[in-house]
Amino acid sequence: MNRKYFDTTPKTRRMSPFGIFADQAGYYPESVKRAFIPFECGSFEVTDMNGAVCYSGSTVHAGMDKASGDDVWTADFTPLDSPGSYVIRAGGRTSAMFCIGGDVYSDVFDKVSKAYYYLRCGCGVEERYGGVWHHGKCHTSPARLWDDREREVDVSGGWHDAGDYGRYVTAGACACAHLLYAYRLFPGAFDGQRLNIPEENTPDILSEVRYELEWLLKMQREDGGVYHKVTTDLHAPFVMPEEDTEQLYLFPVSSMAVADTAAVCALGSHVYRDFDKDFSGRLLAAAKRSAVWLEEHPEFIGFHNPEGCNTGGYGEGDDHSNRFWAYAELYAATGEAVYHDRMEQALREDFPLWALGYGEVGGLGALSYILCDKDRDTALVSRFENAFSARGKELCTIADSCGYDVAMEGNDYCWGSNMGLMTRAMIFAVNDRLLGEKGFREYALSHIHCLLGANPLGISYVTGVGEFRCNYPHLRPAFADGIEECIPGMVAGGPNGHRSDPFARGIIPEGTPPMKCYADDTASYSLNEITIYWNSPAVFVLAYLQ
């Protein structure tokens, strides 16, 4: 990555100008409210925007936090429940502004949900829907098969996956699953949501997910096989989508792509049944075609980029959890015993039954079976529920020992750490909502607090949210549009202790604690890229909190 090309030196930001770290969106009146202070002080006060002291108290020494390297004091202002805007002051320093109120996450929820519209491919982003971030139609030409350059296929549509303009099946299936389960579990959160997108015939989030599902259907062959991805041969330069006019290629079928497509199409058939029976039927038929392909190809067919291609690989070491998820969803959709048998045959000890994707999707299969309204094996239900329960309790223990109240340890701060942060919050939500285990809601909230500024860098990792927020993600249109304010609602990858790109290694000193290995800079793809499956768990958690 050419640092000079981006000319981002004046915009690189690592540390907040605020010395006290709080959730910059805010706190519910009835919830625990805690800010973090990385220096010694005995007392703090919370003031309104006129400077009037509304609450004061003593700090608590939480101790040394290993992942951040901070000696942390906490300021607990839980008793303050009056709606309003506030800052925290202690030791001559202050926090960013935050709010207390029953709707503090409504704007964040809408922004992270609307982000998918800005990532649509095969169409333009219209000004009446996208505002200043509009652009022309992109990537509408047919794609050639990588292994048969004479054959062309129309696979237009779907979402750009990440900072690049590629579209990848397993990533898309995972993001759709998060969003569909968010709707299944928390439909009330979406009832009044208005995202200002072109479609108006179903809840907005389902209209948006359908845009991706229609593309997944195009990626399926007649025999049920599913192409792994469609991209150009090389990543595009940092240009607008409509300026990326290089030849598109369809890459060979992988068994992971087939299984994930079967799973998410079966899931979608259930969700869309009440809105569009024809579309629901198309999804179920596609899921069954891919199930036939899986039976005819019991061997693992992975994916590696062929020589001459440098776009995303999304390779996996096996397809065990993918096949399990596929059969669980097919059984939940149809009640056909053959899929239950295949689900049981696919169960293995080598994948976790709480993992929520994209590389391991066993938790999605378990969730499908827990929610299934067909005949269920009670022993299997208990096994799947116990997996979520045990993982939730394990995560609580980790969070309790963390100075910033999150269930993340040093090694968890890797590429896309904010997905880990949010999928852990999903596990807390599942335990609370489905298993009725008390106390998990506050743990889920603490992870949202961390995402939105209650972290050792004091930065909100969601564009457009908070006084001090990421604004320069590794995202081609966000750079190429020339607009200073970033497209809102994009969840950045977050801290990565491995510093997995040249820019990250150049700006972040070796030995920096992993929770602080982050820079808000376009040049760093391992710290500041966005992806559709980093936004989706955030949508899920915010829907739960709504």
For 28-53, how does the pLDDT look when each residue is reduced to its tens digit (9 = 90+)?
A: 999 999 999 999 999 999 999 999 99
Token pair belonging to 461: 């990792």
Place 14 in a pLDDT band, splitting at 50, 70 and 90.
low
Which of 70, 161, 212, 520 does the annotation list as catalytic? 520
For 449-504, how does the pLDDT look when each residue is reduced to its tens digit (9 = 90+)?
A: 999 999 999 999 999 999 999 999 999 999 999 999 999 999 999 999 999 999 99
The span from the CA of 333 to the CA of 331, in Å, is 5
CA 94 to chain centre: 30
97 CB-side CA count, 13 A: 9
Which of 360, 474, 501, 521 does the annotation list as catalytic? 474
pLDDT for res 4: 32
**274, 334 Cβ separation under 8 angstroms:** no
101 CB-side CA count, 13 A: 13
pLDDT for res 1: 34
What percent of the chain has a predicted confidence (pLDDT) above 90?
94
pLDDT higher than 50, residue 9: no
Diameter of the chain measured on Cα atoms? 73
pLDDT higher than 70, residue 76: yes
Residues of each domain in the chain carrying CATH 2.60.40.10: 1-104+377-525
The span from the CA of 238 to the CA of 117, in Å, is 20
Which residues are 86's β-sheet partners? 48, 98
The span from the CA of 98 to the CA of 342, in Å, is 50
pLDDT higher than 80, residue 10: no
CA-nearest of 194, 240, 155, 144 to 478 is 240
SS3 content of the chain, % helix, strand, coil (to 5): 40, 15, 45
- Quick one: average pLDDT of 181-188? 97
Cis peptide before 358 (omega within 30 of 0): yes
The span from the CA of 15 to the CA of 496, in Å, is 15
Q: Is 164 a catalytic residue?
A: yes
- Quick one: average pLDDT of 231-244? 98
Q: What angle do CA 21, 493, 115 make, to 5 degrees?
A: 95
Give the position of tokens 């008793």.
79
Token pair belonging to 329: 């969803």
The span from the CA of 470 to the CA of 473, in Å, is 7
Token pair belonging to 324: 């399990």
Place 194 in a pLDDT band, splitting at 50, 70 and 90.
very high
pLDDT for res 2: 35
CA-nearest of 430, 496, 426 to 461 is 496
For 376-426, how does the pLDDT look when each residue is reduced to its tens digit (9 = 90+)?
A: 999 999 999 999 999 999 999 999 999 999 999 999 999 999 999 999 999
pLDDT higher than 90, residue 347: yes
Q: What angle do CA 189, 134, 10 make, to 5 degrees?
A: 95
Q: Is 529 a catalytic residue?
A: yes
Coil, strand or helix at 495: coil
**In the CATH hierarchy, which top-level class contains the domain 119-333?**
mainly alpha
Which residues are 48's β-sheet partners? 86
pTM (predicted TM-score)? 0.97
DSSP code string of 45-69 = EEEETTS-EEEEEE-EEEEEETTTT
Homologous superfamily (CATH) for 1-104+377-525:
Immunoglobulins (2.60.40.10)
Q: Is 48 a catalytic residue?
A: no
Q: Is 447 a catalytic residue?
A: no
Residues of each domain in the chain carrying CATH 1.50.10.10: 119-333
Which of 164, 208, 385, 432 does the annotation list as catalytic? 164
The span from the CA of 30 to the CA of 32, in Å, is 7
Which of 23, 161, 260, 529 does the annotation list as catalytic? 529
User: End-to-end CA distance of the chain, in Å?
Assistant: 40
Number of other residues whose CB lies within 10 A of the CB of residue 254:
26
What percent of the chain has a predicted confidence (pLDDT) above 70?
97
pLDDT for res 435: 87
For 133-175, how does the pLDDT look when each residue is reduced to its tens digit (9 = 90+)?
A: 999 999 999 999 999 999 999 999 999 999 999 999 999 999 9
The span from the CA of 249 to the CA of 371, in Å, is 38
